[in-house]
């Protein structure tokens, strides 16, 4: 007997009706008993939910039952969950997956797959429209066992689901590197026999983990090829958040995009698809954009490294890399740390608020080379409501961040004004005295600076030591106008150790 029935049906869904007809045809054509049924197909906010049911009996032991379901056009990601009584109750089932053209894998009861990534045993690739099949394998059914299974399939039109885990639910300051490369693009390291070869991504991740980073954005050039690797690795690196990123490498500048696996077009030009269009594309995917190493020369030594898009709308830029770690001491690549500050402050002076960040730009997967900095140098420290990809990106967007030039074990620097922290705005009428507090740790010979609109204030009081470290409080007389106020810790040579994002004064006016 062929049994096919919708238990629940949205009243006006043509797709549901078409699936119903399809299921019936499948039953008739196959000429076999179809014990599984589509229980429901319900349109959800971002796609479609399909639920399949089946009965488990001892006669099915060793068989594979093919359950079909229809995938419409425009699906970017598929999440599948097989719920069955389990081995403990004498019923162990497996879920194989076949798309209309090929086998996609088998071996998990909960899995996801998309154009660019997939859970371990499954193959990433296009979610092609048509008839897909789940192969229910009755690997073990005890002689007296009887039960039911359910397969829940979520077909999403969005590539970026909330698939990244919360690694730490606590709000706090988290340390990370926002710019790194693997051998999937141009990171090189020594092979077992000493040859110069593309570096396996695991070497970078291990190097970052050894620095005890809380998060790492892997930003290979113009490729989504890294995302599957990150998805597999996130399970192992359960204390270090892996942020999906790309360094969009155009002919006139590099921009990091964090937080999407979607397509980002690197074919930027002066007319047609411009840098501003790229930024819009990233924002439509809920990602952030940062202009990288803007201060590098725009010439033949590093084609496209400086930012040369003169028609850039900087109001679309979320962050600017003010410190880049990729510099070999003594070469033309050697900007003193902080060389990106003038470029950044040009935007602040316009009334914009791009967050200042650091990026190690690691290309050696942490191999210790005498002239080369490593992953986590510099470290960007972000205040986030939890350790998750959305929360870290929110913290960056809000400007709740400071940069430790000397890495994850470097010196923190906190700037506050009352309840406001760096990145926040305060209102101060003319004549009002505004208190700023700088809190840091003692570093021999180091000096604190408080800068208003990029200019250090005179006679900053000597910091006071207490159980928490060094604290310095300063009262600044407001003139009622718009200003940005930020803090730095510098060494005896005046080189940056740490710098904060600004507190914005009267910015809304
Ligand atoms: Zn670059
Ligand atoms: Zn880079």
CA–centroid distance, 88 to ligand 2, in Å, is 50
Assess contact for 141 and 84: CB atoms under 8 A. no
pLDDT for position 12: 32
Distances (CA, A) of 439 to 31, 377, 380, 435, 471: 76, 22, 17, 13, 5
Closest CA relative to residue 90, chosen from 130, 168, 165, 145: 145
Residue 98 structure tokens: 């076949």
Q: Which ligand gives the minimal distance to the CA of 325? A: 2
Phi, psi (deg, nearest 5) at residue 139: -70, -35
So what's the architecture of 172-410 in CATH?
A: Alpha-Beta Barrel (3.20)
Ligand 2 geometric centre to CA of 324 (Å): 9
In angstroms, what is the span from residue 189 Cα to ligand 1's centroid? 18
Instruction: Locate 81 and state its tokens.
Output: 């969950």
Q: Which CATH number fits domain 411-509: 3.30.70.1150, 3.20.20.140, 2.60.40.10, 3.30.1330.80?
A: 2.60.40.10
Question: What is the mean pLDDT of each successive set of 10 residues along the chain, which is 509 residues long?
Answer: 32 36 40 57 87 96 96 96 95 97 97 95 97 97 96 94 83 97 92 94 94 97 96 95 96 96 96 98 97 78 83 98 70 59 95 96 71 78 97 98 94 98 97 97 92 95 90 96 97 91 91
Query: What pLDDT, on the 0 to 100 scale, is given for residue 336?
Result: 57
What is the distance in A from the centroid of ligand 2 to the CA of 503?
29
Please give all residues whose CB falls under 5 A of ion ligand 2, grouped by chain where several chains appear: 247, 361
For residue 359, how far is its CA from the centre of ligand 2 (angstroms)?
8
- If you measure from the C-alpha of residue 6 to the centroid of ligand 1, how many angstroms do you get, rounded to a whole number? 54
Q: Compute φ and ψ for 271, nearest 5 degrees.
A: -125, 165
Contacts of 217 (CB under 8 A, 6+ apart): 176, 177, 178, 179, 180, 243, 244, 245, 256, 258
- Residue 73 Cα to ligand 1 midpoint, Å, equals 36
Q: Which ligand is nearest to the CA of 295?
A: 1
Ligand minimally distant from the alpha carbon of residue 363 = 2
Confidence at residue 30, expressed as pLDDT on a 0 to 100 scale = 42
Q: Where in the chain is the domain with CATH 2.60.120.380?
A: 14-156
Predicted pLDDT of residue 373: 55
C-alpha 219 to ligand 2 mean position (Å):
7
Tokens 């007319």, residue located: 271
Instruction: Give me the pLDDT at residue 17, please.
Output: 34
Q: Of 79, 361, 389, 385, give the one whose Cα is nearest residue 261.
A: 389
Q: How far is the CA of 461 from the centre of ligand 1 (A)?
A: 40
**Separation of 181 CA from ligand 2 center, angstroms?**
6
Which residues 6+ apart lie within 8 Å of 167 measured at CB?
214, 238, 239, 240, 241, 387, 388
265: tokens are 């077009």
Burial of 100 (0-12, 13-18, 19+ CB in 10 A): exposed
> What spacing in Å lies between the alpha carbon of 292 and ligand 2's midpoint?
8
Tell me the CA–centroid distance for residue 344 and ligand 2, in Å.
18
Ligand nearest to the CA of 302: 1
3 state SS for 446-492: CEEEEEECCEECCCCCCCEEECCEEEEEEEEECCCCCEEEEEEEECC
Q: Please name every residue paired with 339 in a beta bridge, in sequence order, or none if there are none.
A: none
Of 271, 263, 502, the C-alpha closest to 399 is: 502
What fold is seen in the domain 14-156?
Jelly Rolls (2.60.120)
Distance of CA 13 from the midpoint of ligand 1 (Å): 48
Residue 460 CA to ligand 2 center (angstroms) comes to: 37
Distance (angstroms) between ligand 2 centre and the Cα of 247 equals 6
- What is the whole-number distance in angstroms between the Cα of residue 7 and the centre of ligand 2? 53
Q: How far is the CA of 361 from the centre of ligand 2 (A)?
A: 5
Q: Residue 54's beta-bridge partner residues?
A: 149
How far is the centre of ligand 1, averaged over its atoms, from the C-alpha of 181 (Å)? 10
Q: Provide CATH 2.60.40.10 ranges for the chain.
A: 411-509
Helix (H, G, I), strand (E, B) or coil at 268: coil
- Nearest listed ligand to the Cα of residue 361: 2
CA of 179 to the centre of ligand 2 (A): 6
CA of residue 375 to ligand 1 center, whole Å: 15
Distances (CA, A) of 308 to 248, 250, 270, 323: 14, 10, 10, 18
Provide the pLDDT for residue 328. 46
- Find the 387 Cα to ligand 2 centroid distance in Å: 24
Q: What is the pLDDT of residue 40?
A: 74
C-beta of residue 104 within 8 angstroms of C-beta of residue 114: no
Cα 335 to ligand 1 centroid, rounded to whole Å: 14
CA distance readout (Å), 95 to 58, 73, 91, 100: 18, 23, 13, 16
Cα 45 to ligand 1 centre (Å): 37
Could you tell me which of 404, 394, 434 has the C-alpha nearest to residue 416?
434
Ligand nearest to the CA of residue 292, numbered in listed order? 1
Question: Under a CB-based contact definition with an 8 Å cutoff, are residues 230 and 188 in contact?
Answer: no
Say how far apart CA 24 and CA 195 lie, in whole Å. 60
Q: Which ligand is nearest to the CA of 360?
A: 2
Integer angstrom CA distances of residue 40 from 16, 69, 156: 9, 11, 16
> 303 CA distance to ligand 1 centroid (A)?
10
Ligand nearest to the CA of 218: 2
Distance 292 CA to ligand 1 centre (A): 6
């Amino acid at each position: 007997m062929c049994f096919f029935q919708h238990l629940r049906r949205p009243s006006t869904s043509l797709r549901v009706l078409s699936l119903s007809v399809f299921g019936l045809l499948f039953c008739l054509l196959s000429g076999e008993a179809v014990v599984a049924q589509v229980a429901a197909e319900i349109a959800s906010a971002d796609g479609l939910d399909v639920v399949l049911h089946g009965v488990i009996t001892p006669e099915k032991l060793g068989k594979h039952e093919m359950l079909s379901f229809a995938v419409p056009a425009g699906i970017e990601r598929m999440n599948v969950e097989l719920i069955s009584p389990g081995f403990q109750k004498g019923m162990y089932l497996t879920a194989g997956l076949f798309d209309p053209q090929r086998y996609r894998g088998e071996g998990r009861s909960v899995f996801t797959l998309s154009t660019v990534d997939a859970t371990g045993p499954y193959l990433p690739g296009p979610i092609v429209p048509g008839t897909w099949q789940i192969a229910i394998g009755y690997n073990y059914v005890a002689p007296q066992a009887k039960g039911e299974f359910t397969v829940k399939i979520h077909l999403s039109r969005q590539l970026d689901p909330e698939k990244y885990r919360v690694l730490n639910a606590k709000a706090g300051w988290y340390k990370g590197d926002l710019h790194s490369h693997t051998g999937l693009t141009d990171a090189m390291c020594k092979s077992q026999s000493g040859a110069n070869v593309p570096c396996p991504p695991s070497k970078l991740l291990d190097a970052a983990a050894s620095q005890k980073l809380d998060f790492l954005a892997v930003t290979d050039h113009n490729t989504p090829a890294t995302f599957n690797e990150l998805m597999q690795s996130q399970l192992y690196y359960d204390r270090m958040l892996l942020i999906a990123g790309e360094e969009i490498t155009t002919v006139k500048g590099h921009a990091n995009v964090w937080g999407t696996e979607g397509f980002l077009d690197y074919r930027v030009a002066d007319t047609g698809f411009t840098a501003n269009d790229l930024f819009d594309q990233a924002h439509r995917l809920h990602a952030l954009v940062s202009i990288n190493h803007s201060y590098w020369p725009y010439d033949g030594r590093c084609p496209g490294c400086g930012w040369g898009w003169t028609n850039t709308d900087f109001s679309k830029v979320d962050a600017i890399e003010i410190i880049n770690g990729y510099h070999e001491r003594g070469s033309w690549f050697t900007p003193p740390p902080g060389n990106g500050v003038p470029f950044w402050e040009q935007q602040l002076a316009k009334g914009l608020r791009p967050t200042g960040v650091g990026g190690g730009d690691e290309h050696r997967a942490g191999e210790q080379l005498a002239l080369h900095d490593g992953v986590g140098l510099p470290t960007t420290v972000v205040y986030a409501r939890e350790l998750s990809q959305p929360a870290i990106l929110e913290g960056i967007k809000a400007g709740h961040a400071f940069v430790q030039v000397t890495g994850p074990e470097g010196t923190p620097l906190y700037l506050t004004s009352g309840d406001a922290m760096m990145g926040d705005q305060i209102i101060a009428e003319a004549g009002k005295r505004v208190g700023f507090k700088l809190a840091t740790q003692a570093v021999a010979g180091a000096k604190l600076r408080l800068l208003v609109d990029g200019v250090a204030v005179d006679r900053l009081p000597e910091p006071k030591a207490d159980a928490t470290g060094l604290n310095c409080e300063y009262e600044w007389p407001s003139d009622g106008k718009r200003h940005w106020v930020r803090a730095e810790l510098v060494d005896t040579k005046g080189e940056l150790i740490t710098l904060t994002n600004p507190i914005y004064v009267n910015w809304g006016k």
